[in-house]
Structure 1
Amino acid sequence: MTRHISLLFLAAIMAQGPWLPAAQAGEADVVAARAERSADGTWRFEVTVAHEDEGWDHYADLWQVLAPDGTVLGERVLAHPHVDEQPFTRSLNGVTIPDGTDRVEVRARDSVHGFGGRSVSVPLGPAGGRD
């Protein structure tokens, strides 16, 4: 009888939810991006990413600058989790933008979901853009 009650108790607990904790952090979102043209004609990007980093198993690990056709023009590898720094801003210098490009897209990736969070379209002009 005791074993039967224990199995019923265990079944009732298991029915209440999964045993393994689900990942709480969603996809990495770009929440702001700024572009500034350097004297040498390349561009510097400052990008702010928000993600509920949980540690080394789930964190925002990269952001990219994309041309309108999807070509990757530059990327910044994020070498560690930012658990206690959210959102966080990092920069990338020396990005070459093809002539005639008036806008780029900036997107972020996380180590579990990949790309898919909010991206930001950044207008390019003489002084750069902010979105």
Structure 2
Amino acid sequence: MPLSEHEQRLLEQLEKQLHEDRRFASNMKASGNAGKLSTRHIALGALVFIIGLAALIFGISQHLIIVGVIGFIVMFGGVALALKKSSTGKIGGSPSFGRTKSPSGGNSQFMSGLEEKWNQRKRDQDGR
């Protein structure tokens, strides 16, 4: 379903404003690689998981409980290794995740600016 002319204009305005906001752009560039999984870690994790599974099955079939438990722990380690983020990323999200507002009110100034832009856009739309 194609966008209407009005929706296309709004989308172009949003794109232009996003390109002009340098702080937002730098934050997005910095967190661009933060969520990527490493292919090497996935391959090694799968290999470790299979080794752990083999140890688990061997331990169960031979009635060696300790070998089965060690196999399970190795399997868990393999999954953890496979889900490990690349060297540029961190498990648990970006460093600003969960951060509270600064006492200087930096976040409120940012929000005020966004609200002002929103109100200006609404005034421009109503005037047309």
More helix by share: 2
Q: How does the TM-score come out when normalised to structure 1?
A: 0.24
More strand by share: 1
Which of 1 and 2 has higher RCO (CA within 8 Å, sep 6+)?
1
Q: How does the TM-score come out when normalised to structure 2?
A: 0.24
